[in-house]
Amino acid sequence: MEKTMTPVPIKPEIGIDVLGQIDIRIGTIKAVSEVPNSDKLVALRVSFGDHERTILSGMKQERADLSVLVGKQALFVVNLKTRKMAGIPSEGMLFDIGYADGILPALAMPERPVPDGARAG
């Protein structure tokens, strides 16, 4: 069981129009590989139904066996600008729970399988 934590204050309010600009989708993790010369980053190969993307995540130290992520569905932000990290382009962001609060992160996952590419919200 996770340690008890006190939630940080809620961020300032935003309008529904701002929230509507964030494209969060379900993807299935097809492969996980280490990023050379990085102590934190792994490369996730993620299926979004009609295409696949490489999304880097700083989760290398969070799990003893990263291969357990293969086949899992999770939420991803897919409309961020591509960003190079450790020389590798990352085409989105894993939407996880806990990292910002200093607890062991967990994937944000659907309660049952849904089609890859399905939108959240």
| pLDDT surpasses 70 at 1 | no
Instruction: Report yes or no on 18 lying in a domain.
Output: no
SS3 56: strand
Instruction: Report yes or no on 77 lying in a domain.
Output: yes
Instruction: Report yes or no on 97 lying in a domain.
Output: yes
- The identity of residue 117, as a single letter, is G
pLDDT at 42: 96
pLDDT at 18: 93
pLDDT at 3: 63
The string of DSSP letters for 78-116 reads --SPPEEETTEEE-SEE-EESGGGTS--EE---SS---T
Model confidence, pTM = 0.90
User: Is there a contact between 43 and 88 (Cβ–Cβ < 8 Å)?
Assistant: yes
Instruction: Report yes or no on 15 lying in a domain.
Output: no
> From CA 121, how far away is CA 109, in angstroms rounded?
14
pLDDT at 70: 98
Average pLDDT over every residue of 28-39: 95
Instruction: Report yes or no on 99 lying in a domain.
Output: yes
Q: Could you tell me what percent of the chain has a pLDDT over 70?
A: 98
Model confidence band, residue 104 (pLDDT cutoffs 50, 70, 90):
confident
Instruction: Report yes or no on 78 lying in a domain.
Output: yes
| pLDDT surpasses 90 at 12 | yes
CATH of the domain at 51: 2.40.50.140
Instruction: Give how many domains the chain has, as a whole number.
Output: 1
| pLDDT surpasses 60 at 2 | no
92, 80, 12, 103 alpha-carbon torsion, rounded to 10°: 20
Instruction: Report yes or no on 7 lying in a domain.
Output: no
Write out the residue range of the structural domain in which residue 53 sits.
Answer: 24-107
